[in-house]
């Protein structure tokens, strides 16, 4: 069984400020972890993912996330927010073995607002 919890359904930052979106996961097997972004009136697109190897992963648009096994976390960060970052962000997890191979479990999403 696997699940993700996104802390904060809505995060508001000023343009140029640090963006931090929190995600904690639960998984009975070593997880694969993902962040997806959804811009208004669009489908989701992959921002970044952790599968194996380096625990700090870099994605598109200057975002990065760090896999911390001891904290069961995969928080998303960006040093300086841009107006175009305003969107909804989803953390997702799946196991890497057995019948969970094909199935992603998504969090409830965090809506990021960027103020000028």
Q: How far is the CB of 102 from another protein (least distance, A)?
A: 5
Gap between the Cα atoms of 83 and 67, Å rounded:
26
Is residue 54 part of the contact set for another protein (CB under 8 A)?
A: no
Instruction: Looking at residues 34 to 53 of the shown chain, list those that interact with another protein (rule: CB under 8 A).
Output: 36, 41-46, 49, 51-52
- Exactly one of 70, 83, 84, 102 binds another protein (CB under 8 A); that residue is 102
Which residue lies nearer to another protein by CB, 41 or 84? 41
Which tokens sit at 49? Answer: 């993912």
Give the Cα separation of 43 and 80 in Å (integer): 24
3-state DSSP assignment of residue 85: helix
Quote the CA–CA distance of 108 and 97 in Å, as a whole number.
24
Among 28, 55, 101, 115, interactor with another protein by CB under 8 A? 101
């Amino acid at each position: 069984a696997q699940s993700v919890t996104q802390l904060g359904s809505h995060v508001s930052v000023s343009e140029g400020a640090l963006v931090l979106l929190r995600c904690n996961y639960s998984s009975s097997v070593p997880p694969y972890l993902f962040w997806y972004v959804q811009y208004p009136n669009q489908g989701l697109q992959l921002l970044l993912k952790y599968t194996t190897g380096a625990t700090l992963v870099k994605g598109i648009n200057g975002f990065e996330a760090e896999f911390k096994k001891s904290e069961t976390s995969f928080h998303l960060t960006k040093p300086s927010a841009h107006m175009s970052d305003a969107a909804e962000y989803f953390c997702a997890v799946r196991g890497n073995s057995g019948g969970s191979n094909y199935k992603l479990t998504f969090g409830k999403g965090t809506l990021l607002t960027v103020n000028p």
